[in-house]
Amino acid sequence: MRTKQQIIEQLLSPGVIAVVRAKRADQAVPLAEALVAGGVIAVEITMTTPNAIAAIREASEKLGERALIGVGTILKPYDCQAALDAGAQFVVSPICRTELIPLAHTANKPIMLGSYTPTEAQIAHEAGSDFIKIFPADTLGPNYIRALRAPLPHLKIVPTGGVDLKTIGEFFKAGVAAVGAGSSLISKDVLEKDDWAALTKMAAEFVKAARAAKAG
């Protein structure tokens, strides 16, 4: 079983977290398989996915040590605990819900709370959030991350929203720990057609871009 620190290290390498809002629960396993084949091992199955807890359990059981299956869009402690019990390796919330932190840490799993302002980000950090999800990042961009990290360099920031192949490099250059990628990685067309080959190709492109930005 991975420790919290081991999970954190794997989330940072290559640093691309796939945000999965599947249309059906049975898409979770082949979707995760396709992502892993392309090098993206962090798979955040959101609670907006139909039967999300069952999808997390199945993906966790079938992908085992080959992937990090996490849960996203967690708003309530009950859902957080249910996802952890189902095998979620990390927890993500789009909001600053600090009461979720003890649940994740008791299970020895990292958690990422959502923030938009410097105050929210610092509150989440002081409460013990392992990462700070800046969301929605599409209206803020890399320059906001740079400005935020100037007085708050200790924050491990993960922007979500607005991260694509054109912007991923600038986000990493701005000092983010990792990025969350949703529709730019897992397109509507891929989900409608179950086009896992296309998803694997796109995942590989994201990984290549992330590694290039870090190396640079």
Express each pLDDT in 167-204 by its tens digit: 999 999 999 999 999 999 999 999 999 999 999 999 99
Q: What is the pLDDT of residue 216?
A: 80
Q: What pLDDT band is residue 1 in, cutting at 50, 70 and 90?
A: confident
What integer best gives the mean pLDDT of the chain?
97
How many domains does the structure of the chain reveal? 1
The DSSP annotation for 118-144 comes to: HHHHHHHHHHT-SEEEE-SGGGTHHHH
Residue 68 near residue 49 (C-beta atoms within 8 A): no
DSSP reduced 3-state for 91: strand
User: How many Cβ atoms are within 10 Å of 212's Cβ, its own excluded?
Assistant: 12
Q: What is the pLDDT of residue 201?
A: 98
Q: Computed from CA positions of residues 69, 7, 187, 97, in that sequence, does the dihedral angle turn out positive or negative?
A: positive
Q: Range of 99's domain?
A: 4-215
Q: What pLDDT band is residue 65 in, cutting at 50, 70 and 90?
A: confident
Give the domain CATH number at 136: 3.20.20.70
pTM of the model as a whole:
0.97
Q: What pLDDT band is residue 64 in, cutting at 50, 70 and 90?
A: confident
Average pLDDT over residues 8-37: 97
What CA–CA distance (Å, rounded) separates 97 from 33? Answer: 31
Which tens digits make up the pLDDT trace of 118-160?
999 999 999 999 999 999 999 899 999 999 999 999 999 999 9
Q: What is the pLDDT of residue 91?
A: 98
Q: What pLDDT band is residue 76 in, cutting at 50, 70 and 90?
A: very high
Average pLDDT over residues 49-72: 96
Rounded to a whole number of angstroms, the distance between the first and last alpha carbons of the chain is 33
Residue 22 near residue 59 (C-beta atoms within 8 A): no
Q: How does strand 111-115 pair with strand 131-134? A: parallel
Q: Among all residues, which ones are annotated catalytic?
A: 44, 133
Structure tokens at 169: 């490099």
Length in residues, the chain: 216
Which residue type, as a one-letter code, is found at position 124?
A
Which residue type, as a one-letter code, is found at position 13?
S
Q: What is the pLDDT of residue 70?
A: 98
